[in-house]
Structure 1
Amino acid sequence: MQTRASEQTIEGGLVDPVMELQAGFRAIMGAMAQPGTVHRSDTSAKPPLPLTPLAALAALTLCDYDTTLWLDADLDTQVVRAWLGFHCGTSIVDDKALADFVLTGDAMQLSDLAAFAPGEQEFPDRSATLIVQVPSLSGGQHLRLNGPGIRTFSTASPKGLPENFVAQWEGNNARFPLGVDLILCGPEGFLSIPRTTRINLLEV
């Protein structure tokens, strides 16, 4: 069993790390610059379940030896911890309030965005970025987004977010310039919602 666990820890990394991490970074930055739009990036990552390839790519792209990462209950397994530690070197912490990045396998567990690091008045960039796995970037609540990076408004309907997500996000907006940023990872790609984005629920 130790041999199998060790093999799973090492295997499943990026075939071409330089090119894939550059492409992943461009896709994530594009998603951050254009909230509500889907940006695709192919990856060869084969992480241990239930971590998905695109969420793994986001973690490998953003996390390194100088960052801290918190995992939710779905992803906090010995194998996932070891795989992330081996491939990106990030330090995994048990206190969500101390994490630079948050990786969650179940968006429904985002019941309190205020529990994550909001940054500091002098250093608002020290807030947490949440990497959130969702089953799809469509088919959920219909959201209207506006704010920086959006010409008039954009719409998105990521599946799997909590029912009270819009209310939670209003609270996140209210803390600006503090607050968290979201990177949603679905099979289609990345969709970002920065703290500067305002969200309303659309009636369909």
Structure 2
Amino acid sequence: MMNKLQTRIASHPSDWTPLVQQRAFRRILDAFSYPGRINELETQATHVLPLVLATLADPATTLADPCELVAAADRQRLGAKSASADQAQFVVMPGSQLPAVEPASGTLDSPERGATLVLVVDEIKQGDELVLSGPGIQSSVSLQLSGVDPQWWKLRKQWNSGFPLGVDLVLLDERSVVALPRTIKVAIEGGR
């Protein structure tokens, strides 16, 4: 839950082993292949955030952690270069807090330079219901999330309005990951 985020989230030593990272990578890839699908990650840490970052980020990437959710030792071990939230490839934020700046959305020559926002939410499977549609989803799929400010969905729509430019979202709770690539449309059930 979000009040747990008042202290930084730390990894477990096993999060840094190749086998654990390979398993996590397959599940994160599955999450991107099937947007809205909930994938459980195996970690002995209290939260999957460090494992997800250990799997995706490396010294060739840039990372912004404006709310300082990641433990300092894990930031150092990742080796990712620090960058501002409007320039970084990966931006870690609590879902309950809106960003102070607009994340990178790429360029027409390099749309892949759009940021991946890693949102730490209270719980996946509980809370407000979202209806997702787009590539990788037959018709539509429902997803429930708690601990996400509803304004995130308006901002995401704005940031992704100039496809292929935009941002991708990775949603995390203590044990699960869900991916929402920029091509996915998100509607809040009930039209809020």
Q: Which TM-score bucket, shorter chain as reference?
A: 0.7 to 0.9
Task: Give 1:91's match in structure 2, choosing from 63, 68, 81.
Answer: 81
**Structure 1, residues 61-102: CA drift from partner, whole Å, max 9, x if none?**
0000101100022426xxx2332212x221222x11121111
Q: Identity, % of aligned pairs?
A: 29
Distance 1:156 1:195 in 2: 16
1:195 aligns with 2:189: no
- Write out aligned runs for 1:1-204 (5 A): 12-14=12-14, 17-44=17-44, 46=45, 53-75=47-69, 80-86=71-77, 88-93=78-83, 95-104=84-93, 106-111=94-99, 115-203=102-190
Distance 1:15 1:183 in 2: 18
What root-mean-square deviation, in Å, do the aligned CA atoms of Structure 1 and Structure 2 show? 2.1
**Unaligned segments of structure 2, at least 5 residues:** 1-9
Deviation at 1:166, TM superposition (A): 2.7
Local SS of the residue matching 1:96: coil
Aligned partner letter, 2:128: Q
Aligned partner letter, 1:101: F
Distance 1:17 1:174 in 2: 39
**Structure 1, residues 18-39: CA drift from partner, whole Å, max 9, x if none?**
1111011011111111111101
Local SS of the residue matching 1:24: helix
1:111/1:162 contact within 8 Å kept: no
Q: Which has the larger radius of gyration?
A: 1
Distance 2:87 2:50 in 1: 21
**Unaligned segments of structure 1, at least 5 residues:** 1-9, 47-51
Residues 1:59 and 1:16: Cα distance change in structure 2 (over 3 Å)? closer
Which runs of at least 4 in structure 1 moved beyond 6 Å after TM superposition? none
Residues 1:27 and 1:172: Cα distance change in structure 2 (over 3 Å)? same
**Number of residue pairs matched by the alignment:** 182
Distance 2:107 2:72 in 1: 28
1:58/1:131 contact within 8 Å kept: no
Higher helix content, 1 or 2: 1
Distance 2:121 2:161 in 1: 25
Q: Which residue of 1 aligns with 2:5?
A: none
Residues 1:89 and 1:121: Cα distance change in structure 2 (over 3 Å)? same
2:168/2:181 contact within 8 Å kept: yes
Deviation at 1:15, TM superposition (A): 6.1
